[in-house]
Amino acid sequence: MPSDERLDERLDERFDAAYYDRFYGRKPVHDERRIAQLATGVTSMAAWWRIPIRSVLDVGAGKGYWRDWFTVEQPRVRYHGLDISEHAANRYGHEHADIAHWKPPRRFDLVICQSVLQYIDDDDARRAIGVVGDACRGLLLVESPTIADRDEVIDPERTDLDIHWRTGDWYRTELDRHFIEIGGGLWSHRSQPIPFFELERARRPQRVRSRVVEH
Residue 1 lies in a domain: no
Name the pTM for this structure: 0.83
Give how many domains the chain has, as a whole number: 1
- DSSP designation for 211: P
Per residue in 142-172, pLDDT (tens digit) is 999 999 988 888 776 766 778 899 999 999 9
Residue 194 lies in a domain: yes
Residue 207 lies in a domain: no
Most confident of 8-12, 79-83, 144-148: 79-83
Longest dimension (CA), the chain: 46
- Please give the order of strands across the beta sheet that includes 55-59: 95-96, 78-83, 55-59, 108-114, 136-143, 186-189, 179-183
- HSE (CB half, 13 Å, CA atoms) of 137? 11
**How far apart, in Å, are the Cα atoms of 142 and each of 18, 27, 134?**
25, 22, 15
Residue 196 lies in a domain: yes
pLDDT band with cut points at 50, 70 and 90 for residue 109: very high
Residue 111 lies in a domain: yes
pLDDT of 87 over the 80 cut: yes
Q: Quick one: which H or E segment has residue 72?
A: helix 65-73
Residue 89 lies in a domain: yes
Residue 4 lies in a domain: no
pLDDT band with cut points at 50, 70 and 90 for residue 193: confident
Q: Quick one: which H or E segment has residue 173?
A: helix 168-175
Residue 210 lies in a domain: no
**CA 180 remoteness from chain centre:** 16
Give residue 36's domain range: 9-200
For the domain that residue 86 is a member of, what is the CATH number?
Answer: 3.40.50.150
Residue type for 7, please? Answer: L
Per residue in 64-77, pLDDT (tens digit) is 999 999 999 999 99
* Phi, psi (degrees; rounded to nearest 5) at 170: -60, -50
